[in-house]
Amino acid sequence: MNVGDKLILRKSNVSDFFSSLQGEMQLIAPKKRFAGDVVFDVVNSPEEIVWEYGHDIYPPGKRYIFPHYEDMFSYRRGEQISIDVAAEAPKQAIVAIRSCDVTAVRFQERFFSTPIVDPFYKARAENTVLFSLVCNEPPKKECFCICCDGGPYLETGFDVQLTDLGDRFLYEIGSEKGLRASEPRQQYLEPSSEQDIAERKRIELHADSLFQTASYIAKAIIYITSDEVPDEVWEELGSTCFRCAACTNLCPICTCYTVDDRPEPDGSFTRCRSWDSCQYAGFTREASGHNPRPTFGSRVKRRFYHKASFQYIMRDGRHGCVGCGRCVSSCLTKLDLPSVVKKIRRAMHDYIEPKSRPTAFLQ
C-alpha cells in the first residue's frame, strides 16, 4: 500500500472500517441533530454518519482545527509567574468533509506556518486526518468551487478522498498521514478496476456541468491588485454592510482572531483566543484611538484585498476563496464574493467607458 493508491471500500465495510479507526482517534462527521439538521459533530458510532448531505454551514475544518474559542495556556501571578500549558490536541479524523473545506484547511496550514509557526494550530492540524468526500453534484446552488479551484473533487491536498460509486467508495490515498490511517485496515480495502476509475471521471465531468453560481474572479484580481477600484465603489459597497461578520465567521479560510486573558475563580488567568472579524470597527483600532480603517467601505475594501490581491496570492499560495458558497448563503446584503466581483467588474466598466455610466453603478 502506497500514497497514490486507488482502492475500493465497499459500503458494507464502511462501518467496520471506521469503527476500527475510532479505536485510535475520535471521529468527527456529519450527523443528524436538532430537528433533522445535519451538522459536523463527534460521532459515537460510524452508524451515525450521514453520507448524503449538502454541507455544514459552519466549516468543520475551521471549527475543529482552528476552533472558535481556544484556551492557549493559564498562568498565576505571584513572586514568580507559573504557566500551565493547554491540554494536548486530540487525535481526530474528520470524515466526509467536502473538497472546498479540505482546500481551506491547506490554506490555513500555510498561513499559520509562515513566516512564524503557530504551535496551537500546528498541533491540531498534525493530529487531524481528513477523509474528504467528493461532491457527485453541487451540494447547494450557492456553491462555486469549480471557479476557485476548490472542488468538487481534488487532485492533491487530501489525506484520503472518497468518491461514491453506488455500492462502494473509490478510496484514494493522498498523503503519508492518510497512508498511516489506512494500512492497519487493509482487510477492508480491495484493488480498484479501470471501470471504477472511469466511473469516477464520469462523475467529475457530470458534477462540473451542474454548477449554477459563477465567480469571474480573475478580472477583479487585476483591478484590486493594481488598486484601480475607486474608493467611492468601496464606500457604496460598505454602506450596505450590517457588520454582522457572518461572512468572516463562516468563511473556512478567514484567520483573524483576538486574544484575551480570562480571570478564573481561583485567582489564575487563562489566555484564550477567539475568532475576530476585519469588518468590526474595533478590529484595527490602535491603542491611541486612531483607526486606519475608520469607514465601512475601507473595511470591506480590506477584506476583498486580502481575498483577491496578487500580493496575498503570492504569500498564501492561492487566492482567499474556495467557492464553498457560505458567504452567498449568509450575507443579507449580497456582499458575498461572487456578487462583489460582479459589481466591481460592472463599476470598472463604467469608469473605463464613462458615457455608459449609470447613475447608481452598483445597482
The DSSP code sequence of 115-166 is SS--HHHHHHHHTEEEEEE--SS-SSTT--GGGTT--SS-SSS-SEEEEE-S
Q: Is 30 exposed, middle or buried (0-12, 13-18, 19+ CB in 10 A)?
A: buried
What residues contact 88, with CB distance under 8 A and at least 6 apart? 123
Residue predicted with more confidence, 348 or 210: 210
Mean pLDDT of 295-299: 93
- Given a contact cutoff of 8 angstroms between Cβ atoms, the answer to whether 163 and 132 are in contact is no
CA dihedral 219→220→221→224, nearest 10 degrees, is 130
Alpha helices in 295-358 (DSSP H): 296-308, 310-316, 326-330, 337-352
pLDDT in tens, 54-98: 889 999 999 999 999 999 999 998 888 889 988 889 999 999 999
Domain positions in the chain are 6-208, 217-356
Confidence of residue 151 (pLDDT cuts 50, 70, 90): confident
- Given a contact cutoff of 8 angstroms between Cβ atoms, the answer to whether 92 and 128 are in contact is yes
Please give the pLDDT value at position 216: 76
pLDDT over 60 at 117, yes or no: yes
Peptide bond into 338 cis (omega under 30): no
Q: How many Å from the N-terminal Cα to the C-terminal Cα in the chain?
A: 56
What residues contact 157, with CB distance under 8 A and at least 6 apart? 102, 103, 106, 174
Where are any strands of DSSP class E within 6-125? 6-10, 26-33, 37-42, 69-76, 82-85, 92-98
Helix (H, G, I), strand (E, B), or coil: what is residue 329? helix
Angle between helices 337-352 and 296-308 (to 10 degrees): 100
Q: Please, what sign has the CA dihedral across residues 47, 51, 56, 62?
A: positive
Q: Which three cell numbers stand for residue 117?
A: 509557526
- Cell numbers 480491495 correspond to 190
Q: In the chain, what percentage of residues exceed pLDDT 70?
A: 96
Helix (H, G, I), strand (E, B), or coil: what is residue 202? helix
pLDDT over 80 at 363, yes or no: no
pLDDT over 90 at 26, yes or no: yes
pLDDT in tens, 201-220: 999 999 988 888 777 788 88
Q: Which three cell numbers stand for residue 127?
A: 493530529
The 10 Å Cβ neighbour count of residue 282 is: 9
> Could you give the CA distance from residue 309 to residue 345 in angstroms, rounded to a whole number?
15
Q: Which three cell numbers stand for residue 268?
A: 489564575
Please give the pLDDT value at position 130: 98
pLDDT over 50 at 159, yes or no: yes
Confidence of residue 255 (pLDDT cuts 50, 70, 90): very high
Q: In the chain, what percentage of residues exceed pLDDT 90?
A: 75
- Given a contact cutoff of 8 angstroms between Cβ atoms, the answer to whether 21 and 93 are in contact is yes
Length in residues, the chain: 363
Q: Which three cell numbers stand for residue 280?
A: 468590526
Phi, psi of 179 (to 5 degrees): -65, -45
pLDDT in tens, 320-331: 999 999 999 999
- Average pLDDT over the chain reads 91
Please give the pLDDT value at position 361: 47
pLDDT over 70 at 352, yes or no: no
Please give the pLDDT value at position 256: 94
- Cell numbers 477584506 correspond to 303
Confidence of residue 353 (pLDDT cuts 50, 70, 90): low
Residue predicted with more confidence, 105 or 351: 105
Phi, psi of 124 (to 5 degrees): -70, -40
pLDDT over 80 at 354, yes or no: no
> Could you give the CA distance from residue 27 to residue 43 in angstroms, rounded to a whole number?
6
